[in-house]
A and B are shown apart, each in its own frame.
Chain A
């Protein structure tokens, strides 16, 4: 169920709008990788069309820094279960994030696990 849902989301979002706030493109993400998860503290969460913007404060071996992610459209997140107020600044959330092809920070959020465990 979850796999089908994610597959639909990917097709839905990418077929129409592989771009973001500043006309980014999904071309820089390796969308074949589905088992990459990133956890961090929400600094920004802007559900939008065609793509959502998410900024997390991440701490790992590279240190602590803010990392920007793209995500599915507001409409697709809504149909996937996101509702206003579910993700707030300061929340600790996990992204199922297709990584960048060049290994730089960032990724494409295929799914989100909110602080209360809700997945969308």
Chain B
């Protein structure tokens, strides 16, 4: 075999291997919980919010919102409303998430408020068929063994605890899978949020999860107590009066007639 033929065979082998590798992306399917580095202290609650490069008008919107809810401590979650992106991905209240991976779609379920994201890998929706949502519209592709997801069509959300944004926000997440020395699977998402209406520069954040085999995602009914309270109120309203008023004779009706 001459040198040219040998190179051709080698090139063909490499291309074939590349195609085979590209055809089999890593499998993210499973239950994932927030990852903490070995020896890292437990997370702390509270503290002032992160200083963000917000534009003046956006800063005022955020300040106004935070002043509004400060006395009561109200949050969307307290009103049984899902967090929305990027909070649903970055925090999800510390609850686990489940990923179900298909060839053309990944379904991500965040346990808190049972928020669901669909990450489409094919059949992108037409622009005219989309509308703004708290979690937006997510479309992704595989870049080697990394999943790159772009999320658009977000509603303006000043109620995001960490990264409030406008309806012009675009979020790009890059996911990759690795394993610790002990074999623990760790999923990392590197996020970049760009929002020319709210921010003077892109916002970057990293979130890590570890796979939790053997646990299940729990239901998260949130409005059930409010519904039960409402039913109780209806029962109270519809209770017959203890001493119903005596019926008067119908008009025009004569006694003994």
Q: A residues near B, CB below 8 A?
A: 3-4, 7-8, 10-28, 31, 46, 48-50, 53, 73-75, 78
Contact = CB atoms under 8 A, between A and B. Distances in A.
A16 B220 CA distance: 12
A25 B72 contact: yes
B135 interface: no
Contact of B79 (A10, A12, A19, A75): A19
A21 B226 contact: yes
Interface string B98-115: 000000000000011100
Nearest to A15: B93
A58 B192 CA distance: 51
Given A11-B45, A19-B75, A53 B220 contact: no
Nearest to B111: A75
Contacts of B222: 17, 48-50
18 contacts: A4-B42, A8-B43, A10-B45, A16-B112, A17-B80, A17-B112, A19-B75, A21-B225, A25-B78, A48-B222, A48-B224, A49-B222, A50-B77, A50-B80, A74-B218, A75-B111, A75-B218, A78-B218
Given A11-B94, A50-B78, A18 B45 contact: no
Contacts, number: 95
B158 interface: no
Given A16-B91, A22-B229, 15 more contacts: A3-B42, A7-B42, A8-B42, A8-B94, A17-B75, A18-B75, A19-B74, A19-B75, A23-B74, A25-B75, A27-B72, A28-B73, A31-B45, A48-B222, A50-B78
Consensus secondary structure, chain B interface: loop
Residue among A12, A22, A26 with the highest chain B CB neighbour number at 10 A: A12
A7 B43 contact: yes
Contacts of B95: 12, 16, 75
A23 B78 contact: yes
A18 B78 contact: yes
A14 B83 CA distance: 13
A12 B218 CA distance: 14
B229 A13 contact: no
A26 B73 contact: yes
A18 B42 contact: no
B44 A17 contact: no
Interface string B46-90: 100000000000000000000000111111011110010000000
Contact of B91 (A3, A15, A19): A15
Contacts of B224: 48
Contact of B225 (A4, A13, A16, A53): A53
